[in-house]
Chains A and B, each alone.
Chain A
Amino acid sequence: MAKVVGGVFTSHVPAIGGAIARGAQEEPYWKPFFDAWPPVRQWLDVQQPDVVIMFYNDHGLNFFLDKLPTFAVGAAATYRNEDEGWGLPAFPIPAGHPELSWAIIEQLVADEFDITTCQDMLVDHAASIPLALAWPGRTAPVRIVPIAINTVQHPLPSAKRCLALGRSVGRALTQWPGNERILVMGTGGLSHQLDGERAGFMNPEYDAFCMDNLAVDPDALTRHSVHEIVELSGTQGVEILNWIAARGALGASASEVSRTYHIPISNTAAAVMVLETEAAKAPVPA
């Protein structure tokens, strides 16, 4: 049976892609963020995941406001990253896993989630940057299932609903008869606000609350309404919904492996966390 080995949670600020393209990882501004990644890669080297379930939000590459799904599940054999308006080079995107996508879709609909299915789907920086951080300089050696959550146009799905969605995905993963080792990723956040007179707002206290509870008590993150999350975390900090859904897919028990929190990356309080499940392999002693 397939094993869900853990989750990697990270901010996905577009400027990270710019920094990668420029080779700016060692610059003083960027180093504290990029330094989060060598331990993550070491953990990935031990876990050797074959599949990534990617919970993210689209920022206007694949979806426009003409048709905007609340939850969209990719079911394609291939995905592409493209120019999002800034002319940055597109990142390579690994192949899809349509059979697993459809197993997830079956489970979600059986659990009464009325999702959108996508057999042709561009994935934007919110999916491509986390993959490029985890597996730099190459196409990630995994197959992916992208799951996009609307964090753009209100009304957004509640945190409670996103956690339940993730748990439904997790049920599909544990029942999947393949032998894959499955990694979950949740991207975006943490606190930031790009728009309005409150632009530049961040909230380390709320971010700490989210990070402290992500592994041990994810339901704590669902006590706030979306409006309250916007107030606490900023208009774009609400991307924490992607983290909450991804946490749900890990199942009941998960433990924290590593955490990095750094202010600022661009206008954002940036965070990187790794959580693992009991199915994770112990590191080989040095």
Chain B
Amino acid sequence: MATSANQPIPGTHIFDGHAAQRGYALNAMCFSFNEAANREAFARDEAAYIDRFNLTPAQRDAVAQRNVLQMIAAGGNIYYLAKLAGILGLNVQDVGAQQTGMSVEAFKQMLLDQANGITSGETAHG
């Protein structure tokens, strides 16, 4: 079934060809953060570093605002954005809290609460 025929999933953004084209510059910048020297260069002079990657205005604004949903709307892929988040001191719970509009504590509790109703631990068979 073609993607276009699929019903949107609430709160979910499929990283498809449209997003991959739109987000290329932002994701390229984030990919560069695999190298520690590049992370340091970004932290030292963010504006100059961003200039090297030709970010779109929407991407620049999203990064300036530290707004993950805006980054995704501008084509950012979360696997690449996670590298930027690390520089910004945000872990995936911080990122989750920001996107869901919850406090970090409430978001963490929401994760924990999903364990309710399952039997944790090991089940050996055979």
Chain A residues in the interface with B (C-beta under 8 A): 14-15, 32, 35-36, 39, 59-61, 64-65, 82-87, 152-155, 193-202, 204, 225, 227, 230-231, 234-236, 255-264, 266-267, 269
Contacts and interface: CB of A to CB of B under 8 A. Distances in A.
Minimum-distance CB pairs A-B, first 3: A198-B11, A85-B83, A197-B11
A271 to B, nearest CB: 11
Nearest to A64: B31
A258 B125 CA distance: 6
A36 B81 CA distance: 30
B118 A261 contact: yes
Interface of A, secondary structure class, is loop
Contacts of B119: 261
Nearest to B14: A154
Contacts of B62: none
B34 interface: yes
Contacts of B68: 195
Interface in B1-40: 1, 3, 6, 9-17, 20, 24, 27-28, 30-31, 33-36, 39
B36 A87 contact: yes
A234 B99 CA distance: 15
Interface in B76-95: 77-83, 86-87, 91-93, 95
A229 to B, nearest CB: 11
Contact of B93 (A39, A83, A261, A266): A266
Nearest to A256: B125
B125 A257 contact: yes
- A36, A59, A263 — most chain B CB neighbours (10 Å): A263
B110 interface: yes
Contacts of A264: 111-112, 114-115
Contacts of B80: 60
Nearest to A266: B92
A200 B77 contact: no
B83 A267 contact: no
Nearest to B10: A198
B1 A257 contact: no
A29 to B, nearest CB: 10
A230 B9 contact: yes
Most chain-A CB neighbours within 10 Å: which of B10, B72, B80, B92?
B92
Nearest to A13: B92
Candidate in A196, A202, A234, A264 with the most chain B CB atoms within 10 angstroms:
A196
